[in-house]
Amino acid sequence: MKPWVKMLVFCILSFFVSFPYALAINVASVEKFLDNAAFDAWDPNSNDLLFLRKDEKGVLQIFKVRENSINPESDKVCISCNAQRAVGFKLSTVPLIHKGASDWHPSGEWFITQGEIPDNISWKQEKRIPGARLNAEPETGWWNNLFLVSKDGKIWIELTKFTNHDINSGILSPTFSKDGKMIAWAERIGGSRPFDQYPNGRWLLKTAKIHVNGEDTRIYDIKVHPPQDGATFKPQGWSSDGKLLLATDIGYGELPYPGYRADIYEVRFDPDGTIKNMKNLTGSKDFLEHYASYSPDEKLIAFTTNNFDPQYEKRMNDAWKKDGPRFSHFIVRNLFTDLFLMDRDGKIVKRITNFVDQEWKGTHPIVAKNAWSKDGKTIILGLVLRSNITGKKEGEMIYRIRLE
């Protein structure tokens, strides 16, 4: 055998030894599960799936449906439309506020979620800044509080106490640890000026212990983790040994729009709850990585990225030269992502979706939140469509990925 042939064979074998899952995982099907719906959370034990949809007044409500439903549109139930008990706030506000960005407690009896503060400043801003109300939606999280909600939506317990006078308040991406005894969330500490430095606002990471005990539930031993030089800190999910996946823009503060260059980190904590170390799994200033979730065996991590777009970083720099620190529509017009798998060392194993290669009639796709089934054979994900011209959200839907 010629030397170059031996080298080629060696390289091929080395690839499959390094990436054994590349041989094992295939995408069996990609099917739309529900239209006009934003994926919110999935409890793989009960098979209850939460999604968001706006009512006739434009307020985001939480719906529940079984993942194995034959007709999810007919089987859906609005569980935020008929709350019967509120702890710490007025019951009448529940159907009137945006809510969402949920995560199930391991028991399946409760979920944690965000809810906007009644009469927050976005109502006043909307009169002079059209679109300001979007910032109060859970995807952005400004002027939000943290809530614990019973699985049927009847009991709502307020866990944080921001008021409409707290101008820089906000909550993002609350998530339970695997044992249900810890939660992590991002908390806002500032606005988005200058926009090229803080396009998503200024945030920090918080963790706390939580004692889930019905209406007596409380959070305590709250830790505020130093923001280092990042502005974006979005918890993504916990491992069984207490590590936390985190999307953050640490290290990119001197670059334009650092929040849209975020990496996926794996965070390890000391026994006292302080951060011991942070491992950057993706490490690229040229792309965005987001919405990470551990597979059931925790050997793989599903995440969204635009690492197939080699001109993304250049277009960000060009937008900065044009707009400087002012608000720029660049991001929502130019960001499109797909779902990938990587191993625990950050090595990409497989691309799962190819939404960006499809025709979306004047819009472009952004893959959002995702979750795994217990057996690792199914992934549920949200897909957002934004206008190629204005960047405005034109549609949301939920897809189901079958793996084999």
Average pLDDT, the chain: 94
Residue 56, C-beta contacts closer than 8 angstroms, at least 6 positions apart: none
Nearest one of 342, 152, 333, 337 to 266, comparing CA atoms = 342
Q: Which single residue is written with the structure tokens 């065996």?
A: 297
Strand partners, 275: 269
- Is the pTM of the predicted complex or chain greater than 0.85? yes
Range 50-64 average pLDDT: 98
Q: Cα(136)–Cα(142) distance, rounded to whole angstroms?
A: 5
| Strand 244-248, strand 182-190: pairing | unpaired
C-alpha 337/C-alpha 384 separation (Å) is 10
The number of helix segments (H) and strand segments (E) in the chain equals 6, 25
Q: Mapping DSSP to helix (H, G, I), strand (E, B) and coil, where does residue 73 land?
A: helix
- Per-residue pLDDT band for 381 (boundaries 50, 70, 90) equals very high
Statement: residue 72 has pLDDT above 50:
yes
Residue 213 has pLDDT above 70, yes or no: yes
Q: Calculate mean pLDDT across residues 291-318.
A: 97
Predicted local confidence at residue 3, as pLDDT: 56
Average pLDDT of span 107-124: 97
Provide the sign of the torsion angle of the four alpha carbons 303, 22, 365, 39, taken in this order. negative
Of 20 and 202, the structure prediction assigns the larger pLDDT to 202
Q: Which of 156-160, 294-298, 332-336 has the lowest mean pLDDT?
A: 332-336
Beta strands in 151-214 (DSSP E): 155-158, 171-176, 182-190, 202-211
For the chain, which residues make up each domain, given as ranges?
A: 20-403
CA distances from 11 to 155, 315, 323, 345, 383 (A): 58, 35, 46, 20, 36
* 29 CB burial (10 A radius; 0-12, 13-18, 19+): exposed
Does the domain formed by 20-403 have CATH 3.30.365.10?
no
| pLDDT of 21 higher than 90 | no
Q: What is the pLDDT of residue 314?
A: 94
Residue 8 confidence (pLDDT): 53
Report pLDDT for 15. 47
331-348 pLDDT, tens digit each: 788 899 999 999 999 999
* 352-373 pLDDT, tens digit each: 999 999 999 999 999 999 999 9
Q: Tell me the mean pLDDT in the region 158-185.
A: 97
| Mean per-residue pLDDT, 232-242 | 97
Residue 19 has pLDDT above 60, yes or no: no
Please determine, for residue 5, whether its predicted confidence score (pLDDT) is greater than 60.
Answer: no
Name every residue whose Cβ is closer than 8 Å to that of residue 239 and which is 6 or more positions away in sequence.
Answer: 178, 245, 266, 294, 298
Question: Does residue 298 carry a pLDDT above 70?
Answer: yes
Residue 34 near residue 49, CB atoms below 8 Å: no
The string of pLDDT tens digits covering residues 214-229 is 999 999 999 999 877 7
